[in-house]
Amino acid sequence: MPGSIAREQDILQLAPPKRPPRLSSRRIGIHTSVAGGVENAAERAYRLGCNTFQIFSSSPRQWAPYLLSRRQCDEMRRLREQYDLKPLVIHTNYLVNLAATNPLVLQKSMEAFRGEVERALALGAEYLVLHPGSFRGRDREAGLRQTAAAMAAATEQLDLARGSLTVLVENTAGAEYSLGGSFEQVAELLDRLQGVLPVAACIDTCHMHVAGYDIVDVAGWRRTLGRLEASVGLKNVRVWHCNDSKAARGSRLDRHEHIGKGKIGFETFRRLLNDSRLRHAAFIAETPIDTPGDDQRNVATLRRLVVARDG
């Protein structure tokens, strides 16, 4: 879950950087505020030192759709081109629950998800990240089946196959009724959607850790990546959410922490960023902003962890 921006000192109010941020061979970015209009996020991301970024295209905790103007979409494309910002990742609204048992919630979720896809297409985004939902009130298999069916039905006739947008299913912290707490559940959803929608995965380091995967110790990290390769497939992980964790392994508590300052630590992020099998992916932080500049510092930390000979 991306951090709050309430106490952020807006980087748009500061003077622009004198020298452009040095390019990295890895795509590294952070969830960026869309205050003042979605297109402003591109300028912010650039100033934060990113070459990729993530945004919300609507208010993350409200159902009301957000209408994008043609001008905003054009401006977003222009700024991304100018600053070489790619991919653009959009995170769906948190209220969307495609596994919902309540028909009204399901209906609203499908409409909201369709709106997310429409806005992602209008903005020219490469990826739309979705949490697979909560199956409270039924068994998990039925929840997975419904989520897959609802994703397909909600996007009917949007002709996703012709565009460059891929929907990414994100692994979750493994809370009692939430889908996606294991790689196998993410893989099952991807299998069900094969040939129906362009789909792949987004893997969050904090969620892996609190869901119980060992990613801290070297042998544990190797085993965990082996399990990910055997289920989802490493090449199918297009975005890594890089978040350290305030909570202990297996706690199922989703509390993001600054890179290197939590229970995961720097070494895991160094291994992640320098694994040649993961070079195709984008690495995006969703870390908190406790003091002004925390966003810039977390991006800089991720960039520093890329070993010099590679980047």
* Position with the least CB separation from Zn ion: 241
| CA atoms lying within 13 Å on the CB side of residue 269 | 31
Minimum Å gap between C-beta 207 and Zn ion is: 6
Q: Binding to Zn ion by residue 1, rule CB under 5 A?
A: yes
Nearer to Zn ion, 119 or 241 (CB): 241
Residues 260 and 20: their CA atoms lie apart, in Å, by 26
Which of 166, 164, 125, 131 is CA-nearest to residue 41?
A: 125
How many residues in the shown chain lie near Zn ion by CB under 5 A? 4
Whichever of 39 and 204 has its CB closer to Zn ion, that residue is 204
Q: Select 241 or 303, whichever has its Cβ closest to Zn ion.
A: 241
What is the pairing mode between strands 244-245 and 256-257? antiparallel
CB of 210 to Zn ion, least distance (A): 9
Contacts of residue 61, Cβ cutoff 8 Å, sequence gap at least 6:
93, 94, 95
Which of positions 152-211 make contact with Zn ion (CB under 5 A)?
Answer: 204
Q: Does 278 bind Zn ion (CB under 5 A)?
A: no
Interaction pattern, residues 223-252, with Zn ion; x per rule: CB under 5 A:
------------------x-----------
- Smallest distance, Zn ion to C-beta of residue 241, A: 3
- Residues facing residue 130 across a β-bridge: 169
Least spacing, CB of residue 194 vs Zn ion, in Å:
23
Q: Quick one: 20 or 60, whose CB is closer to Zn ion?
A: 60
Residue among 34, 9, 48 nearest 299 (CA): 48
Nearer to Zn ion, 80 or 241 (CB): 241
Instruction: State yes or no: residue 88 binds Zn ion (CB under 5 A).
Output: no
| Residue of 234, 233, 228 whose CA lies nearest to 214 | 228
Gap between the Cα atoms of 272 and 260, Å rounded: 13
Q: How far apart are the first and last CA of the chain?
A: 28
**59 in Cβ contact with 66 (< 8 Å):** yes
What is the rounded distance in angstroms from the CA atom of residue 131 to the CA atom of residue 276?
27
Interface pick for Zn ion out of 43, 116, 244, 254 (rule CB under 5 A): 254
CA atoms within 13 A on the CB side of 26: 31
Compare residues 11 and 247 and give the one whose CB is closer to Zn ion.
Answer: 247
CB of 256 to Zn ion, least distance (A): 6
Amino acid at site 207: H
Nearer to Zn ion, 254 or 294 (CB): 254
Least spacing, CB of residue 286 vs Zn ion, in Å: 5
Query: What CA–CA distance (Å, rounded) separates 87 from 27?
Result: 8
The least CB distance from residue 108 to Zn ion, in Å, is: 22
**Binding site residues, Zn ion, CB under 5 A:** 1, 204, 241, 254
